[in-house]
Amino acid sequence: MQLDRVINKRKSVRKFSLRKPNWRKIIEAVDVANEIPLAGNIHTIKFILVDDEEKINELARAAQQQFIKQVHYVVAVCSDYTQLKRSYDERGERYGKQQAGAAIENFLLKITDLGMASCWVGAFSDETVNRILKIPEGMKVEALLPIGYGTGKLKKKKKPSTDAVLYFNEYGNKFMKELRKPEGV
Ligand SMILES: Cc1cc2nc3c(=O)[nH]c(=O)nc-3n(C[C@H](O)[C@H](O)[C@H](O)COP(=O)(O)O)c2cc1C
């Protein structure tokens, strides 16, 4: 699929059919999630592919989001900022969060490209999710990504227009400078 079409097609899906995705396709999306810019090329991200039904139910409870129970697979995206903090002090955490966001968006776009659907789930009990997934000390779970095939019609959420979010040269300036005329004209 063309990039623009995939970006446009991606939506947060919370209703899934019973059809089970091929887990190898999900690994393809992990490959793409790995292809991101990294501050100092320092890798911070790990992925956990969860297919254990009991664990998925527990994750749904930890997030208090019942729709997660419908899926056969959840990918948990985790980060360790330790090395980034060592290299960049307090900016390390900021970079780590940005890297996680880039990886998650790449992942969601590839899932969409492959005809599947997901939803970025960021609201959950860290403590409970860490226990369910046996997350080691120093590692953070950034998001849970339930994956399946969407069902039902879903309207694309309205986004702000480019005009509403774009400034030129300084914050708040909505106008592009006139192109300078060549001298003598
Ligand atoms: C950081 C972050 C956390 C989110 N957490 C949740 C969540 O816990 N549960 C949920 O259903 N959606 C969650 N979402 C999805 C948003 O609700 C969704 O992206 C937004 O409503 C726009 O809809 P769209 O993704 O279809 O464009 C989250 C999105 C982001 C970026």
| Structure confidence by residue, pLDDT tens digits, 16-25 | 999 999 999 9
CA distance 116 to 56: 18
Whether residue 67 has its Cβ less than 6 Å from ligand 1: no
Domain extent, residue 125, equals: 3-154
Whether residue 64 has its Cβ less than 6 Å from ligand 1: no
Residue 182 lies in a domain: no
40: closest CA among 75, 92, 79?
92
H helices of the chain, where?
3-9, 23-33, 53-63, 82-88, 91-113, 126-133, 162-165
Show the CA angle centred on residue 115, arms to residues 75 and 160, nearest 5°. 85
Please tell me the predicted confidence (pLDDT) of residue 152.
Answer: 86
Please tell me the predicted confidence (pLDDT) of residue 138.
Answer: 94
Residue 178: count of CB within 10 angstroms of its CB: 6
Please tell me the predicted confidence (pLDDT) of residue 183.
Answer: 72
Residue 184 lies in a domain: no
Q: Which atom of ligand 1 is nearest to the CA of 156?
A: 26
Residue 36 lies in a domain: yes
CB 82 within 8 A of CB 138: yes
Please tell me the predicted confidence (pLDDT) of residue 40.
Answer: 98
Residue 172 lies in a domain: no
Nearest CA to ligand 1 atom 6: 121
Residue 173 lies in a domain: no
Q: Which atom of ligand 1 is nearest to the CA of 123?
A: 8
Please tell me the predicted confidence (pLDDT) of residue 100.
Answer: 98
Residue 11 lies in a domain: yes
Whether residue 66 has its Cβ less than 6 Å from ligand 1: no
- CATH code for position 60: 3.40.109.10
Residue 19 lies in a domain: yes
- Which residues are registered as beta bridge partners of 49? 75
For a substitution probing ligand 1, which of 7, 12, 67, 107 has the most ligand atoms within 8 Å of its CB? 12
For a substitution probing ligand 1, which of 13, 109, 119 has the most ligand atoms within 8 Å of its CB? 119
14: closest CA among 91, 96, 69, 86?
69
The count of structural domains within the chain is 1
Nearest CA to ligand 1 atom 3: 122
Please tell me the predicted confidence (pLDDT) of residue 185.
Answer: 64
Residue 47 lies in a domain: yes
Weakly modelled stretches of the chain, pLDDT under 50 = none
116: tokens are: 């599947």
12 φ, ψ (degrees, to nearest 5): -80, 115
What predicted TM-score, i.e. pTM, was given to this entire model?
0.95
2: tokens are: 């063309």
